[in-house]
Amino acid sequence: MNDVRPDAVIILAAGEGTRMRSTLPKVLHPIGGAPLLGHSMRAASAAGASETVVVIRHQRDRVAAFVEDFAGRLEGHAVIADQDEVKGTGRAVECGLQALPADLSGTVVVTMGDVPLLSAETIGELTRAHAEAGAAVTVVTSVLEDPQSYGRIIRDAKGDVERIVEFKDATEDERAVTEINSGIYAFDVAVLRRELANVTTENAQGEKYLTDVLALARAAGGTVHAHVIPDRWQAEGVNDRVQLAALGRILNERTCERHMRAGVTIVDPATTWIDTDVSIGADTTIQPGTQLLGATSIGSGTTIGPEVTLTDCWVGDDVHLRRAEGELAVVGDGASVGPYSYLRPGTRLGAKGKIGGFVETKNTTIGEGAKVPHLTYAGDAEIKEGANIGAGTIFANYDGATKSRTVVGRHTFVGSQSVLVAPVEIADGAYVAAGSAVTDPIEPGQLGIARARQRTIDGWVAKRHPGTPTDAAAKAAASSSSPTTESSEDQQ
Ligand code: UD1
Ligand code: CA
């Protein structure tokens, strides 16, 4: 009994999810960076099912597009089955079965698109327990302190599973039962096909309940087994946004724990949010208030945070990155970013480079050791190795119609408060005088000055602002400053 892979997995995702009160289908609401349905698909795929069917109906095209895209990312394949107008989880499975080969035999696992924490290991253990018990049906159950509106597991005097009763159909006594139906099952496919045909819609919701298959299978002489799991969160489903947040928090705790065990310091897991696909190297420290999202990858020995949000970013080793927001940005080894920096898509900061306070970058490459330390916007630019961009420099990349590029050469120094009007190229080893508005090329070794020369007008204050404190200060300064005598006194 080494082979514990299910022959097929059917994932139910056709329901409307009215309790979410959302225009987005329930199964597409995300936690940990992936829609609920994505988590179910990933578990099915990792459990090694030979066939995966996803049953859809509500907002069919939107859900189908997601299923196709996500199956591709899992390097797998999912068959889409459409549920018809008959409602209920039983009907959904019937429609799912129609998408599977008619001669399929063995074990079909049914999971729910709204139970996101169920793991591939649990699917494997369920399949093994089902095979070992020689059962017709095995249902995954859990005992909850507050069983809410879950279906209740009703056992007979011997303790064997007799049936499942839905909360809405349950009596007071049945509602007092704390063992709940997770909605995850392993079925003998022949029993499932046969008994689904016998399920009616005579219940409080007028739906074809999958749960009714258990009592029918038992009545036909089959064994109905319960696989009780101690980790209750794997059995919990999302019906509303309160449960969405609760499961999102548990998933995040588990993700943080996994990284901490692998050598990452997370100072405050409660305020740190890490999507499931993020990778982090050992001896990296995550400070409070940090969100690492999407396919973000962080190297080793790096410090991230406090208050950093990175989406789909790549960050190297020994980086210092604090109070910043980044998306589709690359930060090289030993670089420093922040505080208050905004790295927009296409930012590539080289090794040991710097993006400092109140700097916004977009589609800009900053070479090794180059620095953009203060109050700058750099868009569509190439700032080469060792260059220094003075405080308040603006890369004017947009003329209202088109965007153009700016190049700043190697070890070139741009003085503060300059505007570099694209397209423009400043060569290697050049200087730009502070306050310049650069519109023409500057060649290697040149100084570019693009501002009016300073004028000074004698007696202007006395003439324009006579009798003011400024005028008085000027007069006092003039009478006391007799430069020759003062400096000779100092030297004695
Ligand atoms: C279901 C179970 C309940 C169990 C709970 C666990 C039934 C009758 N009840 O109730 O015993 O405790 O899950 O979370 O099975 N779906 C379809 N087609 C439909 C209806 C639902 O595909 O016609 C899908 C939904 O998209 C969802 C899943 O089935 O992914 C569960 O549907 P939901 O309406 O949330 O069922 P519950 O009332 O939670
Ligand atoms: Ca549910």
pLDDT at 340 over 80: yes
Give the pLDDT confidence score for residue 492 in this predicted structure.
Answer: 40
Q: Tell me how far apart the alpha carbons of residues 9 and 310 are, in angstroms, rounded to a whole number.
A: 35
pLDDT at 490 over 80: no
Nearest CA to ligand 1 atom 3: 151
Give the pLDDT confidence score for residue 177 in this predicted structure.
Answer: 98
- pLDDT one-digit tens code per residue, 212-266: 999 999 999 999 999 999 999 999 999 999 999 999 999 999 999 999 999 999 9
Q: Do the domain assignments include residue 147?
A: yes
Give the pLDDT confidence score for residue 58 in this predicted structure.
Answer: 96
Q: Tell me how far apart the alpha carbons of residues 364 and 29 are, in angstroms, rounded to a whole number.
A: 33
Nearest ligand (C-alpha, residue 12): 1
Place of tokens 């690492």: 292
Same domain, 317 and 213: no
Q: Say how many Å lie between the CA of residue 389 and the centre of ligand 2.
A: 56
Q: Say how many Å lie between the CA of residue 114 and the centre of ligand 2.
A: 6
For the chain, give the percent of residues with pLDDT over 70.
Answer: 97
Q: Do the domain assignments include residue 244?
A: no
Q: Say how many Å lie between the CA of residue 194 and the centre of ligand 2.
A: 25
- In this prediction, residues 267-294 reach a mean pLDDT of 98
Nearest ligand (C-alpha, residue 182): 1
| Ligand 1 site-directed mutation target among 53, 86, 112, most atoms within 8 Å of CB | 112
Instruction: Out of 39, 225, 259, 374, pick the active-site residue.
Output: 374
Same domain, 341 and 430: yes
- In this prediction, residues 411-439 reach a mean pLDDT of 98
Which residues are bridge partners to 314 per DSSP? Answer: 297, 330
Nearest CA to ligand 1 atom 25: 15
Q: Tell me how far apart the alpha carbons of residues 55 and 434 are, in angstroms, rounded to a whole number.
A: 65
Nearest CA to ligand 1 atom 36: 89
- And the tokens for 463? 């003439």
Same domain, 352 and 393: yes
Nearest atom in ligand 1 to 114's CA? 30
pLDDT at 456 over 80: yes
Q: Do the domain assignments include residue 459?
A: no
Per-residue HEC secondary structure of the chain comes to CCCCCCCEEEEECCCCCHHHCCCCCHHHCEECCEEHHHHHHHHHHHCCCCEEEEEECCCHHHHHHHHHHHHHHCCCCCEEEECCCCCCHHHHHHHHHHCCCCCCCCEEEEEECCCCCCCHHHHHHHHHHHHHHCCCEEEEEEECCCCCCCCEEEECCCCCEEEEECHHHCCHHHHCCCEEEEEEEEEEHHHHHHHHCCCCCCCCCCCCCCCHHHHHHHHCCCCEEEEECCCHHHHCCCCCHHHHHHHHHHHHHHHHHHHHHCCCEECCHHHCEECCCCEECCCCEECCCCEEECCCEECCCCEECCCEEEECCEECCCCEECCEEEECCEECCCCEECCCEEECCCCEECCCCEEEECEEEECCEECCCCEEEECCEEECEEECCCCEECCCCEEECECCCCECCEEECCCCEECCCCEEECCEEECCCCEECCCCEECCCECCCCEECCCCCCCCCCCHHHHHCCCCHHHHHHHHHHHHCCHHHHHHHHHC
Give the pLDDT confidence score for residue 3 in this predicted structure.
Answer: 58
- pLDDT one-digit tens code per residue, 281-307: 999 999 999 999 999 999 999 999 999
Nearest ligand (C-alpha, residue 113): 1
- And the tokens for 396? 């004017």
Q: Do the domain assignments include residue 158?
A: yes
Domain with 321 in it: 258-448
Same domain, 371 and 222: no
- In this prediction, residues 432-451 reach a mean pLDDT of 98
Q: Do the domain assignments include residue 465?
A: no
Same domain, 229 and 99: yes
Q: Tell me how far apart the alpha carbons of residues 273 and 264 are, in angstroms, rounded to a whole number.
A: 14
pLDDT at 450 over 50: yes
Give the pLDDT confidence score for residue 489 in this predicted structure.
Answer: 45
Place of tokens 């203060």: 374
Give the pLDDT confidence score for residue 50 in this predicted structure.
Answer: 81
Same domain, 73 and 160: yes
Give the pLDDT confidence score for residue 482 in this predicted structure.
Answer: 61
- pLDDT one-digit tens code per residue, 186-201: 999 999 999 999 999 9
In sequence order, the 6+-apart residues with CB closer than 8 A to the CB of 338 are: 308, 320, 321, 322, 323, 324, 355, 356, 357
Same domain, 126 and 222: yes
Which residues are bridge partners to 304 per DSSP? Answer: 286, 321
pLDDT at 2 over 70: no
| Ligand 1 site-directed mutation target among 66, 82, 89, most atoms within 8 Å of CB | 89
How many Å separate Cα 175 from the centre of its chain?
38
Which residues are bridge partners to 139 per DSSP? Answer: 185, 226
Give the pLDDT confidence score for residue 487 in this predicted structure.
Answer: 47
- And the tokens for 224? 């109905």
- pLDDT one-digit tens code per residue, 34-89: 999 999 999 999 999 888 999 999 999 999 999 999 999 988 789 999 999 999 99
Same domain, 263 and 310: yes
Same domain, 269 and 408: yes
* CATH code of the domain covering residue 120: 3.90.550.10
Same domain, 94 and 200: yes
Amino acid at 461: V
0.75 surpassed by pTM: yes
* CATH code of the domain covering residue 369: 2.160.10.10
Amino acid at 222: G
Tally of domains within the chain = 2
pLDDT at 469 over 90: yes
- In this prediction, residues 409-426 reach a mean pLDDT of 98
Q: Say how many Å lie between the CA of residue 272 and the centre of ligand 2.
A: 28
Q: Say how many Å lie between the CA of residue 464 and the centre of ligand 1.
A: 83
Instruction: Confirm whether 227 is a catalytic residue.
Output: no
Nearest CA to ligand 1 atom 32: 15
Give the pLDDT confidence score for residue 481 in this predicted structure.
Answer: 77
Q: Are strands 413-414 and 431-432 parallel, antiparallel or unpaired?
A: parallel
Q: Are strands 354-357 and 265-266 parallel, antiparallel or unpaired?
A: unpaired
In sequence order, the 6+-apart residues with CB closer than 8 A to the CB of 114 are: 13, 15, 17, 26, 27, 36, 37, 237, 238, 239
pLDDT at 483 over 80: no
Within 6 A (CB) of ligand 1 lie 12-15, 27, 55, 83, 87-89, 91-92, 112-115, 150-151, 164, 166, 180-183, 209-211, 237, 239
Same domain, 178 and 90: yes
Q: Do the domain assignments include residue 348?
A: yes
pLDDT, greater one: 30 or 490: 30
Nearest ligand (C-alpha, residue 10): 1
Nearest atom in ligand 1 to 183's CA? 6
How many Å separate Cα 275 from the centre of its chain?
5
Nearest atom in ligand 1 to 149's CA? 12
For the chain, give the percent of residues with pLDDT over 90.
Answer: 95
- pLDDT one-digit tens code per residue, 103-160: 999 999 999 999 999 999 999 999 999 999 999 999 999 999 999 999 999 999 999 9
Nearest CA to ligand 1 atom 11: 151
Same domain, 265 and 116: no
Q: Say how many Å lie between the CA of residue 40 and the centre of ligand 1.
A: 14
Q: Do the domain assignments include residue 302?
A: yes
Q: Do the domain assignments include residue 242?
A: no
